[in-house]
Structure 1
Amino acid sequence: MLPLITSQSAKNPLGANELKLKNDGDLQVYYAPFDYIETKARLVFVGITPGLTQATNALQAAYAALQAGKTIPDTLAIAKRTASFSGGAIRRNLVAMLDVIGAAKYLGVQSTAQMFDPSARDVHFTSALRYPVFKNGKNYNGTPNIAKTPILKNMVKTHLAEEAAILSTALWLPLGNHAAQAVLHLTNEGILDKRRVLTGMPHPSGANAERVAVFLGRKDPSKVSNKTNPQKLLAARQRLASQITKLEGMAR
């Protein structure tokens, strides 16, 4: 698919029929270069699907790399790393939450922040749906349900399953309920060990700041808004810390 990327399609992927992979009713799946797998990663973050901004960034990075004479493997790696988030509140929240449950110690680093170093190859970013999915031209947000929609479920059973088989010994962290359901489907299929899947952590986005603060112990549970369930968050933190401790025991 890389040779089909032009300067125009890289700027406006939804207007490029040559990049459209599938069309099913009001759902459309487009190609963007998210094929690269960080095969030595020890930590895997799973979102729901690349959004339009991520897709555009990946396509433009790939087009520039190809124009510069890069090889196909190098182009795919450059595109993937360009489109994956590299800083900001999301990264800080992820690092803080992983460190507080003991993931850094388990992974043999002082802080999981070290694993985000640009030269490191310890982290793999992926999505339940590898290629960008849109509903009526808008970013897919979990509706319709992945498990009940054949073209979406098939993406989990093929693309995500491929990554899970390669990175079966890594820690997997799905971001959000929809991503978690997709990853847990792979544990039910025996492709991933459920003990290595960390579920229940609040989504690290800025919109979730209060939930993240409660999870980290930075906000008094008695002073939260009615949108936040502190008991659930604190129970998740305790469960995840216990899960990491058990993994440490398995590694000895």
Structure 2
Amino acid sequence: MTQIEKYKPFIESLPPGSLSKEQLFVKQLLLHEEQDMSIYYVPYEYVNTSAKVMIIGITPGFTQMEVAIRSAREDLVNGVSYDLIDQRAKKLASFAGSMRKNLIDMLDQIGLPAALGIKSSELLFYELRDLLHTTSAIRYPVFIKGKNYTGHSPVILKSKTLYHYAESIFLPELLAVKDALVIPLGKSVSDVVKHFADKGWIDKERCLFEMPHPSGANGHRKSQFEQNKAQMQQQVITWFS
């Protein structure tokens, strides 16, 4: 269920074109603040319950936040229905930038297109978006001292605030998208999903726990991926068979 109507006056007031941190790190979008941590609203509340693949990041970064808010602004100005605004923003912004290219390459290498009967994983982000649900362990953008939260300081499972967001928002998403192969990206997200699995809330068999985070800042990405690629290829075959 979208909250876009609540934020409509402010988002519509933003100028056209690219948006800066000074324009978006404002009280009108602030959801929570404590010590060095700030959490902001972004129109990411669409859940594709019929998806066959669910890809989970840590939290939207500023790049994703800016693209999503800009998309929502344009849609509000153009009279797009509220029900579609979150869906359209998420399609544009999810893993936007170099991360998406890295992610598509890894998904292709573990055999996801063949398992789904499609030409390339890239299609999941465009023409075949109905097969994909993208989300984050923390749905809304988290920043530490104004910088993108990387999942480590604080650790989600050790932060009362972040864990509350994960259990109250992310877990229901996992349960709602019940037929999807679950792909958490990186250790911090995998740890959250494993925690839910250990509680008996979700099935471990549907989860690829070894997929590295596709960020270019992850210097161990390629070696981690090669180390676990064969195992993930087999998991993909097993799940979709």
Please classify the TM superposition score into its range, dividing by the shorter chain length.
Answer: 0.7 to 0.9
Instruction: Pick the aligned partner of 1:5 from 10, 24, 47.
Output: 10
Corresponding residue of 2:237:
245
The aligned amino acid for 2:200 is G
Whether 1:141 aligns to 2:150 is yes
Tell me, in whole angstroms, the C-alpha distance in 2 between the residues paired with 1:138 and 1:97.
Answer: 26
TM-score by length of 1: 0.80
Q: CA deviation at 1:239?
A: 1.9
Matched, 1:68 2:78: yes
Change (3 A) 1:54 1:245: closer
1:175 partner letter: L
1:158-216 deviation line (CA, Å, top 9, x unaligned): 1111210111220111111112112222222333211111121333334558853xxxx
The question of whether the paired residues in 1 share the 8 Å contact of 2:50 and 2:179 is answered with: no
Q: Secondary structure at the residue paired with 2:130? A: coil
Tell whether 2:182 aligns with 1:190. Answer: no
Residues 5, 59 of structure 1: 8 Å contact kept: no
Kept in 2, the 8 Å contact 1:48–1:178? The answer is yes
Residue of 94, 108, 113 corresponding to 1:99: 108
Give the Cα separation in 1 of the matches to 2:167 and 2:220: 34
Alignment CA distance shift 1:188-1:31 (3 Å): same
Other-structure match for 2:3: none
Cα pair distance change 1:19/1:206, threshold 3 Å: closer
Q: TM-score under structure 2 normalisation?
A: 0.83
Uncovered stretches (5+) of structure 1, i.e. residues with no partner = 213-229
**3-state SS of 1:17 partner:** coil
Q: Aligned ranges for residues 72-221 of structure 1 at < 5 Å?
A: 72-85=82-95, 90-118=99-127, 120-142=129-151, 143-207=153-217, 211-212=221-222
* Bigger-Rg structure (1/2): 1
Identical pairs, percent: 35
Deviations 1:53-79 (A, max 9, x none): 211221121122112111111111122
Task: Please say if residues 116 and 122 of structure 1, whose CA atoms lie closer than 8 Å, have aligned partners that are also in contact.
Answer: no
The two structures, once aligned, show a CA RMSD in angstroms of 2.5
- Tell me the distance in 1 between the aligned counterparts of 2:165 and 2:57: 14
CA distance change for structure 1 residues 96 and 79 in 2, over 3 Å: closer, same or farther? closer
The verdict on how the C-alpha distance between 1:32 and 1:145 changes in structure 2, with shifts beyond 3 A counting, is same
- 1:112 is displaced (CA, Å) by 2.8
State the number of aligned residues: 229
